[in-house]
Structure 1
Amino acid sequence: MKEPVVTVIVASYNHAPYIEQCILSVLQQTYPHIELLVVDDGSTDDSVQRIERLQEQYGFDFRTQKNKGLTCTLNEAIARAKGSLIAPFGSDDIMCPERIAKQVAYMQDKPEVGICAGNIELIDSGGELFPEARQRRDTPFRRLDFDDVFMERKPYPPAPTLLFRKEALEKVGGFDPQIRLEDLLIELKITHAGYYIDCLGEVLAQYRKHASNSSKNTPFMIDSILRTYALFADHPQYEYVRTRFLSSMFLKCSNRDRAYARQLLKQIPFRRWNKKTWRGLGRLFFSPLEKR
């Protein structure tokens, strides 16, 4: 069977300290049939100069643009991608050398798998492993359908390891520019279309946790996820899923941002309160405020 072309898309935005290591980890993959598309989405640091130096040496496709946001950037890159498999990859993360080869081999005879993923290691801004890295490394193989993702019945596939079938992305209309935190929605759309997400039980990438991660912007993250869930409001478990998420976020924010935590609490009907809601109330009124 002919080996497919895999298009790796790196959307770069103000990750100058990390972008070179990211790109090199793609160029050093053991899998030979990789098309690398790098797009700088209006960086204001020296990312462009760093990428240009690598582009001169390795000859990959590099374009710059005014800031459009990640979802628009991904959709435009996917439209011109030559590969039948697509790997969007964060410009601050690192691929393990055999990542693409392992995923391609796994997906070859499984047309029902729309997304293949794997495990990650957590690293800090300097590339050192976090103490909690072990729990992400050792998650066993799992297959997820729509309800598994929507109801969080199994561990989520980590974003730095997602490898998509291009046909699955095209079937669901690609990423939604209206929801900028893109991972959960595209996973729901693809599984809702009848595909599975298979997560391999081995480490495929390193995810870098640092001060400018989009997940650190808690209100942005919560709003994006609530808007994502709302697109599936006809699901019989929608209210349960929405309020369970709100309770988890209320607990998280209760001794970090008390004004925002109170806003979240107002969105949880009393009949939907759970253990996390009550724990959050305890933190809200009796715990010292955490420094952020």
Structure 2
Amino acid sequence: MKNTPLVSVIMPAYNSELYIAEAIQSILNQTYENIELIIFEDGSSDKTRQVIEGFADLRIIKILSDQNCGVVRARNEMIERAGGKYIALMDADDIADPTRLEKQINLLESGQYDVCGSAQWVLDEGTGLIKKSKDKFSDPDLRALLSVYCGLCNSAMTGKAEIFKRFKYDTSILTSEDYYLWVQMAAAGFCFLNLPERLITYRRYPAQTSAIHLEKLKINTIEVQKKYLELLGISQSYYPRHLPFKQRLVDGLGLLRELNRRFSGVSLKANAEIYARFQYRKNGIYTPFTRLERLLVALWATFLVT
């Protein structure tokens, strides 16, 4: 594929012997062939290293660590070594559709966007069930919704290498490091898009939903969301949390006003999702009224905020 830009795919690997061969092969089988696959074997205690060493493809760059450095440092080192115009993220237990890179690079080469993700298949390793992800796709929606959650799947993301090298991963944030990376890029004005095609199969494990993991994630997520408001120049008093009716009208409308002024074109549905974070759940007989409230506020933010 002459005259096509080099794509550096970075894959951290730790105790991934069960799935990494499939992950590697899904990258080597890409219809977009001008790639380098950088794998950081992070001191695994299983046979991950042996699996990696079993691949002889010259496009693979193997970094073998005798100590466990952690996924954040591993990703940052791979970003430093990446020689491509674009960097694609890939986890060692996920599977890329063969057309993933081709479709993403075609979009990025158009010059309209800086970072591109996609919808996913979500494979539950506990039950074996596979389902469709629920995604938002436009740049205004993705960047506005970062104020309440991360709508970007790490293994589906590809973007300009210069942006990844500028920001990298924050080593002080260990459970929401990808969320904070996107927050920094979004606040700096870079444009995102999620392709509607499901270009990644993302594996979900029971450990990801453990009480300890979820508590750490909750704490770090709050820190990231507050930092995002700070980076956007929005008062942290608008931080989305459950509030009584009068107070959420002040803070909820305030946040929506600020976000819609910064990100023109936020959808009605996205505005409603953001405002819902200020409402209490399980309202019983009051549920129809809270839904009506949410709709009216979202309509106001979508069509009247300028």
Length-normalised TM-score, structure 1: 0.74
Partner of 2:63: 63
Partner of 2:222: 226
> Does the Cα contact within 8 Å between 1:7 and 1:82 map onto a contact in 2?
yes
Q: Does 1:178 align with 2:172?
A: yes
Counterparts of 1:238 and 1:42 in 2: how far apart (Å)? 40
Length-normalised TM-score, structure 2: 0.71
| Alignment map for 1:89-104 (pairs within 5 Å) | 89-104=90-105
**SS at structure 2 position matched to 1:177:** coil
| Alignment map for 1:261-272 (pairs within 5 Å) | none
With over 3 angstroms needed to count, the CA separation of the structure-2 counterparts of 1:227 and 1:151, relative to structure 1, is closer
> Does the Cα contact within 8 Å between 2:11 and 2:92 map onto a contact in 1?
yes
Counterparts of 2:103 and 2:42 in 1: how far apart (Å)? 30
Partner of 1:115: 115
> Does the Cα contact within 8 Å between 1:145 and 1:197 map onto a contact in 2?
no
**SS at structure 2 position matched to 1:44:** coil
Partner of 2:125: 125
Partner of 1:2: 3
With over 3 angstroms needed to count, the CA separation of the structure-2 counterparts of 1:28 and 1:147, relative to structure 1, is closer
Question: Which deviates further from its counterpart, 201-210 or 228-237?
Answer: 228-237
**SS at structure 1 position matched to 2:90:** strand
Partner of 2:43: 42
Counterparts of 1:107 and 1:273 in 2: how far apart (Å)? 35
Partner of 2:33: 32
| Alignment map for 1:1-292 (pairs within 5 Å) | 2-54=3-55, 56=56, 60-65=60-65, 66-110=67-111, 112-125=112-125, 128-130=128-130, 133-136=131-134, 139=135, 141-144=137-140, 147-152=143-148, 156-171=151-166, 173-180=167-174, 181-213=176-208, 217-232=213-228, 234=230, 235-236=233-234, 238-243=236-241, 274-276=279-281
With over 3 angstroms needed to count, the CA separation of the structure-2 counterparts of 1:156 and 1:273, relative to structure 1, is closer
Q: Give unmatched runs, 5+ long, in structure 1.
A: 246-271, 280-292
Calculate percent identity across the aligned residue pairs: 25
**SS at structure 1 position matched to 2:110:** coil
Counterparts of 2:210 and 2:83 in 1: how far apart (Å)? 31
Residue 26 of structure 1 deviates from its aligned partner by: 0.7
Counterparts of 2:59 and 2:168 in 1: how far apart (Å)? 27
Residue 240 of structure 1 deviates from its aligned partner by: 3.8
**SS at structure 2 position matched to 1:243:** coil
Residue 105 of structure 1 deviates from its aligned partner by: 0.5
Residue 175 of structure 1 deviates from its aligned partner by: 1.2
